Structure 1
Amino acid sequence: MESVPRRRNEESHRAILHAAITLVAEKGFENVTVEAIASHAGVGKQTIYRWWRSKGAVVLEAINDGFADVAAFPDTGDIVADLRTQMENVTVKLVTTDFGSAYRGLIAAAQSDPELARKHIEQIIEPASVACRERLIRARDAGQIRSDTDVQTTIDLLYGAIYYRLLLSTRPLATEQVAQAVDLVFAGIRTFN
């Protein structure tokens, strides 16, 4: 995480993360200040600057922290069911909470902030990609998907469908879309024993 020194007050830490998500979802990333987050959390802005270097770092940690409960990949032995479960959990979190709006705001801000973009990749995208890659490799090793499957392209296809709807709002992001995307991708890579 981008946090600077060790946190001394977990209650304040939680309040700051909650305030960051709530305010960014309500007002947009660009309209929220560290001062507003501090005020909403009931702390001084110096507390935030002691723990984080920027507003982006606070929001990034809040999003990362908020997705911890849905980011894990189950391993029931059925790769299709496991991916559906994980992707549907992520989708529900994006659709039914403030995290979807806050995440869109963070990604938009990262387009003009190379440091935030790099941290987003390092802290959210890459760990999720590694976990998915490991799960797909286990499925490949177990003969559930073709041995010539390009795992990274598979990840891009699966999660690209979520990001496309989340960021461009072409159609509503929904769990039904997850099942369709997984079925379409696996029609091309699944082995039939």
Structure 2
Amino acid sequence: MNTSMNTMQRPVRSAAPKVTIRRLPASGNTALAASALIQAALGIEFLLSGLNKLADPNFVGNFKAFVDASPGTHNGLLAGLIHALVQPNIGFFASLTKYAELGLGIVLLLGALEVGRRRLSGRFGVEHGYEAPVALIAAFAGLAAAGLSLSIALLMGESLPTITPGRALTTAIPVELLLVPLGIAVAWMEAGRFRVLHRAH
């Protein structure tokens, strides 16, 4: 007999298909939700701050008085820059501050809403293709918010938090300094979200 007839046929197993799983950043859903809350709070803070400046008819004069009286103008890291650049162009920097805060507030709020929307199920949470650019813009907005807050803190002469009896009933960390790490945290999370979304396309 032909030896080939005695050969037992064995089923051939095909290699399992390689499945690519789209993952969130390693920190996961909980961190994204926390980031969205921080981002929304920062957005509200900057938006309202910008609107307050927009509603002030004497904002340029008040901004000039604020800069002139701030400790950082006379003795600080930014003193030379303030004297050479800001004070001679006070109107421009007043407008820049006002509209920068408005813009940052809007972008941060939109970014927070987008993170929240993607947590929803059904057609409300469907990906549309614009998510990666939104995450990237929100990351830059977080960095800009941190930079602006740090500049204001330096202008006001704020220092690193210490144990101060006179501040027993106030915040230990000045608000402007507190906004700096929050802005960096938002930028970090949004940059991670952008990386995941960008790789998926």
TM-score with structure 1 length normalisation? Answer: 0.29
Structure with larger Rg: 2
Relative contact order higher in (CA < 8 Å, ≥ 6 apart):
2
TM-score with structure 2 length normalisation? Answer: 0.28
